[in-house]
Amino acid sequence: MTEDELPQDHPLRDSRVHALMGLVTGSIIAGVGVLLFEGLMMWLLIGVGVLDAITTPYILGKAIEGETADGPEQAVEGW
């Protein structure tokens, strides 16, 4: 799916939605780590949650732009 295929009022066109989704998913992962685990596993899940909160907005932005490692042509054609 590229930017041209999305309607103008689609929520995924807004970068604030990308940031919010990253914060929500990262918070869920870190919350599960704090509530259900202790020791090293808790700290690993907190780290994964932080990494998720940072990378999710970037990945969603690239997916909406239709860019891949091989260029936008592959994103239009499919995987």
Would you say residue 59 lies in a domain? yes
The rounded distance, in Å, linking the Cα atoms of 69 and 34 is: 35
Structural domain count of the chain: 1
Higher pLDDT, 5 or 27: 27
Q: Tell me, yes or no, whether 75 lies in a domain.
A: no
Q: Is residue 36 part of a domain?
A: yes
Query: Residue 14 has what pLDDT?
Result: 85
pTM score, two decimals?
0.73
Domain membership flag for residue 27? yes
Residue 40 counted as domain residue:
yes
Q: What is the pLDDT at residue 53?
A: 96
DSSP per-residue letters across 6-43: S-TT-GGG-HHHHHHHHHHHHHHHHHHHHHH--THHHH
Q: Which residues span the domain enclosing 21?
A: 13-67
pLDDT single digits (tens) 32-79: 999 999 999 999 999 999 999 999 999 998 888 775 455 555 555 555
pLDDT value, residue 12: 80
Q: Which structure tokens are listed for 75?
A: 């994103």
